[in-house]
């Protein structure tokens, strides 16, 4: 028990509070990955998607280089897209491998994906059949209602064009 005149740091078994600024651990290498064994599937897929976009962007830039000043030079035509690829690759690494918030989000995403109850192939095929039959039935009903309205509006003279004749081949062409 602590007496009123005793300081908290003088209690038995307690450590004194650190004095001065708290030092954070620094990594020896800037290429060290944050939590390397967690969320690896989501991280690799994200990096691959970013890489595909980067390659497409570099290819587009390579194709557009002749339109730019000094773009006809072979060294510029190849070095600029390669430099873009290297910059984007480093940015992807920093985002997917080092950014704590993004990495923690990806780890949580992979954890949630493992909890998902995926439908079986049989369930997916059955649901697809239901959707196709429903869309076809709805399309047929709308076609019948549309024919009905064309007939009614043609009969009262609002619709001046013989749409039904053109649809079914009984209309007279002028």
Cα–Cα distance measured from residue 17 to residue 8, given in angstroms and rounded to the nearest whole number: 10
**Kind plus residue range of the DSSP H or E element containing 148:** helix 121-155
Q: pLDDT tens digits, the chain, 174 residues: what are they?
A: 555 555 555 555 566 666 656 555 554 566 787 787 787 788 888 899 999 999 999 999 888 887 777 656 777 778 888 998 999 999 988 888 888 898 888 889 888 888 988 899 999 999 999 999 999 999 999 999 998 888 888 888 887 877 767 777 765 554
Cα–Cα distance measured from residue 104 to residue 166, given in angstroms and rounded to the nearest whole number: 63
DSSP state, 30? Answer: T
The residues, any chain, with a CB within 8 Å of residue 59's CB and separated by 6 or more, are 81
CB–CB of 77/62 below 8 Å? yes
Cα–Cα distance measured from residue 108 to residue 118, given in angstroms and rounded to the nearest whole number: 18
Tell whether pTM > 0.85. Answer: no
Nearest to 86 by CA among 54, 64, 115: 54
The residues, any chain, with a CB within 8 Å of residue 129's CB and separated by 6 or more, are none
Phi, psi dihedrals of residue 134, rounded to the nearest 5° = -65, -45
Cα–Cα distance measured from residue 69 to residue 64, given in angstroms and rounded to the nearest whole number: 11
The residues, any chain, with a CB within 8 Å of residue 50's CB and separated by 6 or more, are 88, 92, 95, 96
């Amino acid at each position: 028990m602590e007496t009123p005149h005793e300081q908290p740091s003088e209690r038995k078994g307690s450590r004194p509070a650190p004095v001065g600024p708290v030092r954070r651990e620094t990594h020896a290498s800037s290429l060290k990955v944050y939590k390397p064994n967690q969320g690896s599937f989501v991280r690799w897929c994200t990096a691959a998607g970013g890489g595909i976009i980067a390659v497409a962007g570099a290819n587009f830039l390579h194709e557009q280089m002749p339109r730019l000043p000094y773009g006809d030079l072979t060294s510029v035509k190849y070095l600029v897209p390669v430099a873009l690829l290297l910059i984007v690759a480093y940015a992807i690494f920093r985002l997917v491998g080092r950014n704590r918030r993004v990495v923690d989000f990806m780890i949580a995403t992979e954890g949630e994906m493992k909890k998902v109850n995926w439908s079986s192939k049989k369930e997916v095929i059955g649901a697809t059949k239901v959707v196709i039959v429903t869309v076809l039935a709805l399309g047929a009903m709308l076609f019948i209602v549309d024919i009905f309205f064309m007939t009614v509006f043609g009969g009262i003279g609002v619709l001046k064009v013989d749409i039904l004749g053109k649809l079914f081949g009984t209309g007279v062409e002028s």
